[in-house]
A and B are shown apart, each in its own frame.
Chain A
Amino acid sequence: MQAIELDHVRRIFRTSIGTLRRHTKEVVALDDVSLDVAAGELFGLIGPNGAGKTTTVKILTTLLIPTDGRATVLGHDVVADTRFVRRNVGFLFGGERGLYFRVSGRANLEYFAELYALPPRGIAKRVDELLALVGLSDRGAERVEGYSRGMKQRLHLARTLLHDPPVLFLDEPTIGLDPIGARDLRETIERLRERGKTIVLTTHYMFEADALCGRIAVISGGRIVAGGTPAELKRHVRDLSVVELELFGAPDDLTSRLRAIDGVDSVVVERRELRQVFRVQTADGERAVPRLLGVVGQVDVGRVSVREATLEDAYVRLVGRVE
């Protein structure tokens, strides 16, 4: 038995648009998604905004009913057996919402401890442990409205772990954390995996997915477009290396001109104020550099570097989204 199974799951949202002449529009959030996660596995779900990651997590945490197909957690159907599933999963949706602001962090945790039916005698101790785990021991008595964004996020993690569930869903858990906080959280996730938890992690940080996950599914437009270990995914770009060109004041049409060059596989641009970084995937490696610079023309060139393709490059190729 797999810890988590999705079997041909579809999920359609109906939303109404227009204020006066209303009509409904259908959004296919998940389109025939099947996947398995083994017990004790740390599984990554990556994909662009609106791909369906959160929808998947919400179906598995009983918050959404699939339009079609079947999903199970530890062998129990998420629609028919909500009680079992709810007892055995913990989930974290990244962000600051979902806390009672006017009471203390400790009061928040104590309330959820009751909702998860923790043994009454153990609650105070468990809350202490978790506040310590997320580094909020000395702030637990303060009202949540005075917490910083990262502190709220860490309080959410404590809430997620209260009942020590065997299955965890972490939806963008490191969003908004400072670099050290994010590293600490990654270590915590790693330790949870070592303790045998089954974890589904969604993230937009590819290095995070690469470092933590045993297997990853890439989801785009509600479909799984690729899957495997990070190494297997990187094999999609094995033949490619990446040339990074730092330019100052590149014209808008440069992307398409670079793409037109022979041997160029894909181009992505990261635009900062005055500086643009072009990431060019090509099979030719450094041999492509003169050709690329030839197209760049009169623009100021900063750093130029050639490196091996990373998971992020594989992701860009798989998702095929170019800006």
Chain B
Amino acid sequence: MTHALRVLRTGALLEARNVITSNFMLFCVFVQPFFIGVTVMFMLRHRPDFDPVYVVVGTALSGIWSAVLFEGNWIIGGERRVGTLELLVASPTPLLLAIGGRLAGSMGFSVSSVALAYVIVAWLFGAPIRLADAPGFALSTLLAVFALWCTGMLLAPLGVLARTISRFVVILEYPVYALSGFLFPILLLPGWTNPISLALPPFWAAQAMHMTSSGEAWALPLAAVWAILLGTGLTALLISVPLFSAVLRRARVAGTLSLT
């Protein structure tokens, strides 16, 4: 157990140092959320029901989600391209842990989207930011990051198993913003999409974070939202376990762990 945690930590630190120099990750975590945040502020700030903290949370989530989606989808292919995938596979540590640590590193880095979103809304637009339930928000953020990490862990083997689909993963970026209600309530969407929303960990992440920051009540109590958030995350993680095995088995049969 402690070994697993050490692998996750070392992998995360290695990856965090790695992504700081990656232009693409900087784009996902800073540039794109910046434009989203600024645009939404211009659109919404004069409306009577405008809530600046809603924009902070939504903008930050968009940054974290982009990081999860792209990193999760590319991470195994990236290791293969660099030539490290074989080294990871041939080590006695399960690949899932190695990949998990790396993904945690880029996610940890992506949480800085929260600070960026705060700066945009509070400093650039001078909107007042108040957290309705600060400790609740902290816990919601923690659970949200964990559940999104689990989602990334599910995307990682899928990125290899469904290679054709994974090439078009970019198109998943915006629908999930919408379906998860990062910036606009899903009530604005057609009713048939609601079941999809309810199955997505990012949706529950957004719910928990919005509820504790804006302080608005919702159909379910906060504790239930947390439980479902954790549940959807763990489900994604559980599904990922056999998928990782399938990836490894297939690669060792087909000889696709390396490029050479």
Instruction: Tell me if chain B binds chain A.
Output: yes
Residues of A within 8 A of B (CB): 13-14, 54, 58, 61-65, 83, 86-87, 89, 91, 93, 95, 97-103, 107, 110-112, 114-117, 120, 159
| 8 chain-A/chain-B pairs, Cβ below 8 angstroms | A14-B254, A58-B255, A63-B89, A86-B92, A87-B92, A100-B84, A112-B87, A117-B92
Instruction: Give the residues from 239 to 259 in chain B that come closer than 8 angstroms, CB to CB, to chain A.
Output: 249, 252-255, 257-258
Contact B14–A111 (Cβ < 8 Å)? yes
* Chain B residue nearest in CB terms to A55: B255
* Chain B residue nearest in CB terms to A160: B87
Q: Across the interface, which residues of A come within 8 angstroms of B91, CB to CB?
A: 86, 112, 115-116
* Chain B residue nearest in CB terms to A29: B255
Known: A63-B257, A97-B82. A159 touches B87 (CB 8 A): yes
Q: Across the interface, which residues of B come within 8 angstroms of A99, CB to CB?
A: 82-84
Contact B90–A63 (Cβ < 8 Å)? yes
**A49 CB to nearest chain B CB (Å):** 12
In the complex, besides A89-B90, A98-B84, A115-B93, 16 extra interface pairs with C-beta distance below 8 angstroms are A13-B255, A62-B252, A63-B258, A64-B252, A91-B90, A95-B83, A100-B14, A100-B18, A102-B17, A103-B18, A110-B10, A114-B7, A114-B10, A114-B93, A115-B98, A116-B91
**A76 CB to nearest chain B CB (Å):** 13
Q: Across the interface, which residues of B come within 8 angstroms of A61, CB to CB?
A: 90
Chain B window 73-112, contacts with chain A (Cβ cutoff 8 Å), 1 for yes, 0 for no = 0000000001110111111110000100000000000000
Q: Across the interface, which residues of A come within 8 angstroms of B3, CB to CB?
A: 114, 117
Chain A CB within 10 A, most for which of B83, B249, B255, B260: B255
Residues of B within 8 A of A (CB): 3, 6-7, 10-11, 14, 17-18, 21, 82-84, 86-93, 98, 249, 252-255, 257-258, 260
Q: Across the interface, which residues of A come within 8 angstroms of B89, CB to CB?
A: 62-63
**A73 CB to nearest chain B CB (Å):** 12
**A contacts with B: majority SS:** mixed
A290 to B159, CA, bound (A): 67
Q: Across the interface, which residues of B come within 8 angstroms of A101, CB to CB?
A: 82
**B contacts with A: majority SS:** helix
A120 to B5, CA, bound (A): 12
A117 to B91, CA, bound (A): 9
**B181 CB to nearest chain A CB (Å):** 36
Q: Which of A63, A98, A107, A115 contacts B92 (CB 8 A)?
A: A115
A103 to B21, CA, bound (A): 10
Known: A61-B90, A63-B257, A115-B7. A97 touches B83 (CB 8 A): yes
Q: Across the interface, which residues of B come within 8 angstroms of A62, CB to CB?
A: 89-90, 252
Q: Across the interface, which residues of B come within 8 angstroms of A111, CB to CB?
A: 10-11, 14
A64 to B90, CA, bound (A): 10
**B203 CB to nearest chain A CB (Å):** 34
Q: Across the interface, which residues of B come within 8 angstroms of A14, CB to CB?
A: 254
A14 to B256, CA, bound (A): 11
Contact A114–B87 (Cβ < 8 Å)? no
A168 to B17, CA, bound (A): 31
Q: Across the interface, which residues of B come within 8 angstroms of A98, CB to CB?
A: 82-84, 86-87
Q: Across the interface, which residues of A come within 8 angstroms of B14, CB to CB?
A: 100, 103, 107, 111
Contact B92–A116 (Cβ < 8 Å)? yes
Q: Which of A13, A64, A86, A120 contacts B6 (CB 8 A)?
A: A120
